[in-house]
Structure 1
């Protein structure tokens, strides 16, 4: 079976490689020639464990190819996945310009029956829009169908999630389309849910909104835990053993980030507003998350005073480990706040890069965690990279101007750090 994937970003590349891995012939299409050339050379333009090896493997098997030729790609493939970006507009709406362009391209170059499957995260009703955009762009009235098949990938674990999914959701009103899409996934051992396109589109937003809610919930409890002298890690473990709750996304910290949760919650709130429904709980989820990094900075001020002129080391830029994604990362918000307060900032991350616009005489990127913390008045862990567990903290303590350690991800053992001689503070854990 031949499959076309339009868009070779994070979702598109992962989707294309997984379909190649399970035996289908895949073409990846993108308008960015540099991105396509890198992929042809076996190089990913983002960091995701395991994917680059899979890319090289299937370039070798010739089950995957990449192109910028829209006409040829669309003409040669009857099954087409739309995997383009849907970034947030200033009012929170999902920007569908790339989805619309993909739909119009398909219609314009259609040469026979096509099955169009939208995997991008899109507002409810987009399947209907794609149908209209494709239909209006056709020069010949070839038949086509449009379905929804949302992705549920975690950055850092995308390959595992794609090869061993919890569920596959197919949004279509056609039994024939459901069977055709189900055939693509027949080797996967998981529930396949067939529902309407609107329900499929809504399910994606509901899933991310619920996970964001769990994070803000435990972060609010962490603040109260600090006041009560309670260990929020033990609280999370205790409630997470309840199978009605589960342990995932109950790790207190400095807030969520990335390309999905902030964008998708904003889009869901926007959909609710346009339908005269107020989602009060989700508004609070966003409010808690946007202020969580400030809670950690307040802990720093209470210990070392005014931050002007102080040297602050930040360990981690990415919003989570095993990714280079810094979109909406709490560390970026923290750097901006520290700059405004005239602190000097040293930053280290093993994968993610510091944006050029944040680098100046007050913000530098360190060559190692140890070098980054040398001479610092305080160090803040912003990303729970496993490598930070292996740091020689005894040596680091002696190299700092003052041994103040603030663990924004509750990564380290509080007792051990205090025994070494650090002033240690976590989030709801000290």
Structure 2
């Protein structure tokens, strides 16, 4: 979709935003019902582990073909096709899901459809709002978080109370049926717009141009690393949080409510930070600052309160010593860290997506995001496993400390890559040899 002004797509952007919110709401309702059914079956451990694996494998094995199909169809039609592929297994689950032992089959089929839906969704940003991708991505992240809260925290408990898991499944199926209609409407409205797409499925399946794009564009590589670090931190905090709350804060899982408020405020601040003024050049600065903020946050959770206690004890000032002894230093550190985590997690997510949207060539956008999603899902599995083992046997603090060190190394690598790439671009072009004139 090239050569069109984003000002002509106001209605289409509204439809797109509605689809995003409905997709997130319905997806979280669907996942809540699946995990509830699998976790309460005859073999809950087997059911839950197979469910996790079934949702992960398609993103690793089928992510690249899914992105290729989305590029071949065009982002709007790929978005609609992905919605249909998501709806079909949910509709089938209404009739054929017989308990936790078969939940993984429907989860696998649903995740397979997501490999077309998600890259196409990301590829629609540039055609719909070519000049201000930051605004669209900020709205998408806000709608993503809002939809997750609506599906998991509002609709799932309400429907479970009214009719149990089956009513939750019916609610998810209804949501995805409406989503299918909305995405079809969007595809119909965008049908007259010219689409730059591969000429055949075979050419779409060739990722040579996409690989060359990542090799030549350091900002895309930076975004790839930033999104990977964001995913590791977000999921790693979830792994370590129960141990941290109970053993270090002494609050138990109920203490999560105290950290949610500053975390949510941080997320909102991140959305405002990355609003309409987020350009490609500014996205690089936001990614850099957000990664540093994540490093500081993780390191602070690991050891900052120890430093505060040591300073208070070494100060030999009685009021300072008494104040430190009376308050929970670890909890006092966790409150601002929760705000900083929310700020940086939302900021790095939006900025990295803007960098990919602005640099990826038209006709390859879905494949670029498919590569990003596939690599992210592939490479975070081992770190998360190690974090789980480390937290169980060594505790949350040492594990978070190791994570902070790994992030410092990753940040140093991408910064060196950035310096080398910008240095090469700033070199003067070689002088052309003079031609002899008669």
Shorter-normalised TM range: under 0.3
Q: What is the TM-score with the length of structure 2 in the denominator?
A: 0.22
Whose helix proportion is higher, 1 or 2? 2
**Greater relative contact order, per chain length (Cα 8 Å cut-off, separation 6+):** 2
